[in-house]
Amino acid sequence: MNRFPFYIGWSADVPPKALQRARAFLLLACCLFGVGGAWLALAQGEFSNAVFEYGQATELEGVLVTRPAPALKVAVGDAGSETYQRVLLVGYGKFGATGILQTVAEREGFDLDGRRVKVRGSLLYRDGKALLELSEGDAAFLEIGQPRSLSSSRELYGETSLSGEILDAKCYFGVMKPGEGKPHRSCAVRCLSGGIPPVMKARLADGRLEYVLLVGPNGEQITDRLLDFVAEPVSLCGRAERLDDWWVLYVDLNQGVGRLGLSYPADIPMCR
Amino acid sequence: MSTQYTAVIWNREKKRYDRYLAGLIGLFLLAFCGLTLALQPEITAETLIIRATGTTALLLLHLTLMIGPLCRIDPAFLPLLYNRRHLGVTTFFFGLIHGVFNLIQFHSLGNVNPLVSLFTANVHYGSLSNFPFQVLGFGALVILFLMAATSHDFWLKNLGPKAWKTLHMFVYLAYGLLVMHVLLGVAQAEHSPVAIGFLGMGVVTVISLHLAAAFFGQRGQFTAAAGEDFVEVCGLADIEDKRAKVCLIGKENIAIFKYDGKLAAVSNICKHQHGPLGEGKIVDGCITCPWHGYQYLPENGCSPPPFTEKVSTYELKLVGDRIFVNPRPHPEGTRVEPVEIPRKHE
Ligand code: HEM
Ligand code: FES
């Protein structure tokens, strides 16, 4: 169709007026794209300093615990001080560690809970909390020792109500930025349904931020009951305690999950 | 208007157009990615790619949507329209990178197929603030894909201009979906008003340009109800030489051309992409479409051989210096003897 010796039907050359218009449009578009790019970059919310040591292996030794969430109890501080950090264990991709632990337990013929183990994986950490991704699956277990009974530092807080956002531990503590909020909602659903432990980023009455592991009244998994409420402001009731370096909320599901929805002024529930 | 098809027919103008387009995108990416990395090196590569490509795609879509009405308001903008197809395909391409990265990041490596997860992870279809906004982006991506895939003249020919045009009108649906994709997505999480401000400006610009085009596009157009045989349209002096007067009589959209001391009337709608023939010009004795240069002979509405496009023709009558047109169309390509303009009027 370009057999015509003219440009868009007018003449052999672009008429000066058209050239002028095209130039003006281009100039305006340049301003828009340049200034817009810079401005939008500046307007982004802050990204966390969370780290995911993707592709980088770390070996950790500690005592494996499966409740309230699979974790490795690692001694911290001076020797004999009996202070432990719980490094949560998760699987590769959007999966928790439970499947891997089961595979290893079946292979070995005994339960892993309470045993001293050495595992290899990729670390994730943020705000003093750490997770280990068992990237190699059951091959992540390098050594499995005898059961050890370890005391846990425990503080009971009793019945309480906490409000905040339900997140999946893996994305929030390292893999994704932002690993919370509306844009991340479906990913959090995917991760939680894959068995990654649910955590509430809770704002306490005194304004402090705490990360709270969420389990049922008897320490059982309740992920299915929470999926509908992730990534939005909610309140939960239950019994709270501090277990080593993590808070745990034994959620009272009879009281239900309270939707706060305050930060979503645009919400018009249509068929809820 | 080709008798055979090539993937892309390159010429100097198209190459220049693409160079400017690449420069524009480069400028945006440099500003956005450069500043983000300089100020917030903690960002993950995935998030940077997702944000940069999504925003580029939406910006390009705004340009695409602005060009059409700009050309109707002022035909001097037409060089921008000539290669708009490359703009559209580039928009789709950036939307695709954005969508694929999102599917990988948010939905892959899980316990459900990523495409199933896209629709089922968040099921709050009844809520506004919790609405699964990613689905809206997916819908838009499908439309952009269909448009990009059928943008070539080969498809235009096979679908027919009407179906093709209808398909391409879906771009407005895609645009609406994307506005909601952003409003119900990132806008629910980011606190800065800048992004929303930009989007608002974009929406206002696109809408006002379309309203202005609808208004100015009617300028100088004659409108009448159907019914009578011949309808008086205008005087001889109202048409410039080698140009046309457009009239809408009932449903008939007619362009009356004046050239070489003659008058001829054909359909105002180009067979290619429904461009406005009446805003075109007679070049080398042919009516030449202002959009992409398809040509038709004024006396029979046929493209000169070897081309085969045909438009309807209409009967004209000159009484004194007043032009009358019969709004009943002749079948496409029917020869109608042009009306000679008596010397005294020339
Ligand atoms: C399968 C299709 C798509 C999916 C799954 C998807 C998903 C997403 C997600 C998750 C976000 C939030 C990302 C963030 O946290 O920053 C987002 C943002 C955005 N999307 Fe899409 N999207 C899709 C298609 C599109 C298309 C086709 C366009 C434009 C042509 C688009 C334009 C945008 C824009 C402008 C933003 C805001 C900037 C940003 O945050 O990335 N999206 N999309
Ligand atoms: S619409 Fe493309 S040449 Fe007329």
How many contacts (CB atoms, under 8 Å) link A and B? 223
The reply to whether residue A34 touches residue B76, judged by beta carbons under 8 angstroms, is: no
Domain that holds residue A247: 154-259
Domain-embedded: residue A2: no
Ligand 1 proximity of B255 Cβ (cutoff 6 Å): no
A89/A170 Cα distance (integer angstroms):
9
Give the residue ranges of chain B where pLDDT is below 50: 1-3, 5-8
Contacts of B30 in chain A (CB under 8 A): 37
Provide the CATH topology of domain B222-345. Answer: Rieske Iron-sulfur Protein (2.102.10)
Report which bound ligand comes closest to the CA of B96: 1
pLDDT tens, residue by residue, B48-59: 999 999 999 999
Ligand 1 proximity of B151 Cβ (cutoff 6 Å): no
Interchain CB contact of A34 with B (< 8 Å):
yes
Q: Does one domain contain both A105 and A133?
A: yes
B164/A181 Cα distance (integer angstroms):
40
Domain-embedded: residue A170: yes
Nearest Cα residue to B133 out of B83, B75, B178: B178
Report which bound ligand comes closest to the CA of B294: 2
Q: Which of B291, B303, B307 to mutate to test the pocket of ligand 2 (most atoms within 8 A of CB)?
A: B291
DSSP-assigned letters across all residues of B26-52: HHHHHHHHHHHHHH-TTS-HHHHHHHH
Domain-embedded: residue A28: no
Q: Does one domain contain both A189 and A239?
A: yes
Q: Does one domain contain both A106 and A69?
A: yes
The reply to whether residue B198 touches residue A232, judged by beta carbons under 8 angstroms, is: no
Q: Look at residue B305 in the predicted model and tell me its pLDDT.
A: 87
Q: Does one domain contain both A103 and A165?
A: no
The reply to whether residue A47 touches residue B63, judged by beta carbons under 8 angstroms, is: no
Q: Look at residue A87 in the predicted model and tell me its pLDDT.
A: 98
Q: Which of these three, A147, A178, A199, is where a domain ends?
A: A147
Q: Look at residue A175 in the predicted model and tell me its pLDDT.
A: 96
Ligand 1 proximity of B55 Cβ (cutoff 6 Å): yes
Query: Of chain B residues 5-24, which have a CB less than 8 A from chain A?
Result: 9, 11, 13, 20, 23-24
The conformational region for residue B199 under phi > 0 = left, psi -120 to 50 = alpha, else beta, is alpha
State the closest ligand 1 atom to the C-alpha of B94, by its place in the atom list counted from 1: 30
Q: Does one domain contain both A160 and A111?
A: no
Q: Does one domain contain both A74 and A160?
A: no
Q: Where are the domains of chain B?
A: 12-218, 222-345
DSSP-assigned letters across all residues of B206-248: HHHHHHHHHHHHTTT-EEE-S-SSSEEEEEGGGS-TTEEEEEE
Q: Which of these three, A147, A165, A181, is where a domain ends?
A: A147
Contacts of A47 in chain B (CB under 8 A): 40, 42-44, 47
8 A C-beta contact, residue B39 and residue B108: no
CA of A4 relative to ligand 2 center, distance in Å:
13
Domain count, chain A: 2
Q: Which of B272, B295, B307 to mutate to test the pocket of ligand 2 (most atoms within 8 A of CB)?
A: B272
CA of A50 relative to ligand 1 center, distance in Å:
23
Instruction: Name the residue with tokens 């009951």.
Output: A225
Q: Look at residue B19 in the predicted model and tell me its pLDDT.
A: 92
Interchain CB contact of A93 with B (< 8 Å):
yes
Ligand 1 proximity of B178 Cβ (cutoff 6 Å): yes
8 A C-beta contact, residue A21 and residue B77: yes
Domain-embedded: residue A106: yes
Q: Does one domain contain both A174 and A227?
A: yes
Strand partners, A198: A168
Q: What is chain A's pLDDT, residue by residue, as a tens digit (272 residues)?
A: 222 333 444 344 577 788 888 889 999 999 999 999 999 999 999 999 999 999 999 999 999 999 999 999 999 877 777 789 999 999 999 999 999 999 999 999 999 999 999 999 999 999 999 999 999 999 999 999 999 888 888 999 999 999 999 999 999 999 999 999 999 999 999 999 999 999 999 988 888 999 999 999 999 999 999 999 999 999 999 999 999 999 999 999 998 888 887 444 333 333 22
Interchain CB contact of A21 with B (< 8 Å):
yes
Q: Any idea what the CATH number is for the domain that residue A133 is in?
A: 2.40.50
Length of chain A: 272
Q: What is the ipTM of this complex?
A: 0.91
List pocket residues of ligand 2, CB cut-off 6 Å.
Answer: B 270, 272-273, 275, 289, 291-294
Q: Does one domain contain both A158 and A254?
A: yes
Q: Does one domain contain both A126 and A173?
A: no
Consecutive H or E run containing B340: strand B339-340
Q: Which of B43, B59, B98, B190 to mutate to test the pocket of ligand 1 (most atoms within 8 A of CB)?
A: B98
Query: Of chain B residues 208-267, which have a CB less than 8 A from chain A?
Result: none
What's the gap in Å between the CA of A159 and the closest CA on chain B? 30
What's the gap in Å between the CA of A45 and the closest CA on chain B? 6
Q: Look at residue B228 in the predicted model and tell me its pLDDT.
A: 66
Domain-embedded: residue A190: yes
Domain-embedded: residue A18: no
Contacts of B153 in chain A (CB under 8 A): 1
Q: Which of these three, A105, A120, A147, is where a domain ends?
A: A147
Q: Look at residue B11 in the predicted model and tell me its pLDDT.
A: 67
Domain-embedded: residue A250: yes
Q: Where are the alpha helices (DSSP H) in B103-245?
A: 114-120, 133-149, 153-159, 161-169, 171-183, 194-217
Q: Does one domain contain both A104 and A169?
A: no
Going B71 to B73 to B77 to B78, the CA torsion angle's sign is positive
Domain-embedded: residue A40: no
Instruction: Name the residue with tokens 């700009």.
Output: B70
Interchain CB contact of B30 with A (< 8 Å):
yes
